Structure 1
Amino acid sequence: MHQYDSKLPLISLHIPKCGGTSFTEVLRSWFWPSFHAHYIAHDRGGVLPPYPHPVKSLLHKSRIKPMVIHGHFEDEADIFDYYPKAEQFITVLRDPLEMQLSLFWDHKRRLKEFGTLYWKGEEVEMEYGGDIDRWVAERPFYLMPFLPFNLTLENFKDELSKRFVHIGVVEELQASVNHLASRLGKQPVAIPKLNESQRDQLPSEGSIDAFRGKCELEYAIYNWALDLNTNPLP
């Protein structure tokens, strides 16, 4: 894996429904006040993320406090549009089916609590009429746009290894944080409880099979990352 260099900003790719609430707090505790959040405000007209505050940049450049830039690098807020010299990354993945289902239930929860969903500043409807089988089988899976490195089944291990300091997984989140702490020279911290949406329905086996059939690369990446976090610390 990539050797961490505290003189360079660390880019943390927050992939939706991958333990972000808990992992964000871990990074904040390690890097504050040089923790910078990078998110599009979809509920406020799609306002793009700001660049880090000059004080945070000064703390980093003065080597007083290393910087981490953490958030959803998507569409207009792409990694290399904002930070073309980005060299070192971290992220947390999750079982792809669990990601797809967690996003479904999160949208359901938001509709129930707030009465609407927002995307790029506009109200949107629940896709596929809220049909969980169609959501699983037909909705494009969303992982790869958050890993914009032209990955294939043949090259993903090499491409990710040379860029990522570590890749965690939700299913082994405490072990993932312990491994990452070791890689960054930080103290391990206990993981708070994950923010989970309630579920009262499961998809059919047919829709699950269809989903898995279209996600060969995503499952290969996930299983590789899972192995990284189930092996003992060096």
Structure 2
Amino acid sequence: MQDSNHQASPGSNSRELTDSEVTLAYELFLGRRPSAAELMRKREAGTKIGRIRHNFLKSPEFAHRYAQFKAAGNTTMPVALTSKADAFNMPPLWPCATERVVFLHVPKCGGTTLHHLLGQWLGSENMHPERFNRLYESPVAQLASKLGFSGHFDYYSTTLIPGAKRLISFLRDPMDRLISLYNFHRAHAPEIIEKNNLQLPRWANEHDIDAYFAHPTIRAHPAIDNSIVRYFSDVPQVAHAQSDPVWRNITLDEMLEQALRNLEKFTFIGFMDRYDEDVERLAKTLNYAPPAELRKHQVLDDLMETNPSMRKIEKQRPTPETRAGMEELVHYDQLFYTRARELFR
């Protein structure tokens, strides 16, 4: 007989739990907070202690979370944990209906801070390790085994992640972002640039900001020329796509149209000029507690003092003439940014 049918004294199994108590149950059994939709479903199905306990203990998510404690000979674990799956080193898989959180991290838009926060909310063990744009190289089973994704992904790569997804991102005024990106690259230590063959930081070390943004090769680089729209478009932002005839002739006008369409699929877009406020708004959207104190990561002034891979520089600002010439490099990004601010007020 299930626990939910046991005789219970008033105030224990017999009463409906409050939302706060259901949230605590999620944290105790599953190590996470429920989404608003999950709370609604629990209310509709009934939230007595016995029912909640039984549902959690029998859920694939509970089995997945505590797979490492599987007893020898236990045959009740999900199929991904059977001996055959183990032989192929397949990780435990989340159910198809499990909602993933996917953060498309635009460089110099406060993303490292948010990455750490997502790890706190979702559990660092549930975060996919990829931080750049190499989800394309990830085995499908590894994608299916994680709840959180946070990196410099293009939109195309996020479509490879299985299951329901809540897409989120933060944006910054495109001109300000491009100037910040230059100073960040210029602050890279020369030995780190050579060791890792970092092309944009190398150019930033070789040129002052006016020469940098006047250089035709640099201006044509996809990480400089309207890169926000490129990343939100349907075009993969990987090297082979730049020479593939399927992708190479798609214009920025077409990419903007794609990016604006994809923008409407996002659950949340935040903005750097109201960062703390929007982090709280994101916490509410994802149904997590906002941080008591928001610790900022990857702030350039701090990095130049503490990170041995960086060197101290004087930040540069473009002349009015250079800034006017940079307008072409952010024209499509600015249109996208303006629309995002309209949609996510």
TM-score (norm 1): 0.71
Amino acid across the alignment from 2:232: L
The alpha carbon displacement at 1:30 in A equals 1.0
The 8 Å contact of residues 39 and 49 in structure 1, kept in 2 or not, is answered as no
Partner of 2:88: none
For the 8 Å contact 2:131–2:152, the answer to whether it is kept is yes
Per the TM alignment, residue 27 of structure 1 is displaced from its structure 2 partner at its CA by 0.9
Distance 1:186 1:47, change over 3 A: closer
Q: Is the 8 A contact 2:229 2:336 kept in 1?
A: no
Contact 1:39 1:72 survives alignment (8 Å) = yes
Deviations 1:191-214 (A, max 9, x none): 223533254321111111122234
The total of aligned residue pairs comes to: 210
1:192-203 paired onto structure 2 within 5 Å: 192-198=295-301, 199-203=314-318
SS of the residue corresponding to residue 90 of structure 1 reads strand
CA RMSD of aligned residues (A): 3.8
Q: Indicate whether 1:69 and 2:154 are aligned.
A: no
Inter-partner Cα distance in structure 1 for 2:256 and 2:141: 39
Query: Are 1:27 and 2:127 counterparts?
Result: no
Residues 1:97 and 2:188 are matched in the alignment: no
1:197 and 1:12 map into 2 onto residues whose CA distance is 21
Runs (4+) of structure 1 exceeding 4 A deviation are: 3-6, 46-56, 84-87, 150-158
> Equivalents in 2 of 1:208, 1:26: separation in Å?
34
Q: Is the 1:152–1:217 contact (alpha carbons within 8 Å) kept by the matching residues of 2?
A: no
Please point out which of 217, 222, 227 is paired with 2:332: 217
Q: Where does residue 77 of structure 2 map in the other structure?
A: none
Larger Rg: 2
Structure 2: gaps (5+ residues): 1-35, 39-96, 236-253, 302-313
2: CA distance, partners of 1:8 / 1:212:
39
Q: 2:131 is aligned with what amino acid?
A: Y
Residue 64 of structure 1 is matched in structure 2 by none
Percent sequence identity over aligned pairs: 22
Structure 1 residues 73, 152: CA separation in 2 closer, same or farther (over 3 Å shift)?
closer
Change (3 A) 1:4 1:228: farther
- Report which of the two has the higher share of strand: 1
Spell out, residue by residue over 1:127-183, the C-alpha distance to the aligned partner (whole angstroms, 9 max, x if none): 26323113335523322232133766667555312x101011112111221222222
Cα distance between partner residues in 1 of 2:175 and 2:271: 13
Q: Taking CA–CA contacts closer than 8 Å with sequence separation of 6 or more, which of the two structures ends up with the larger relative contact order? A: 1
SS class of match (1:17): coil
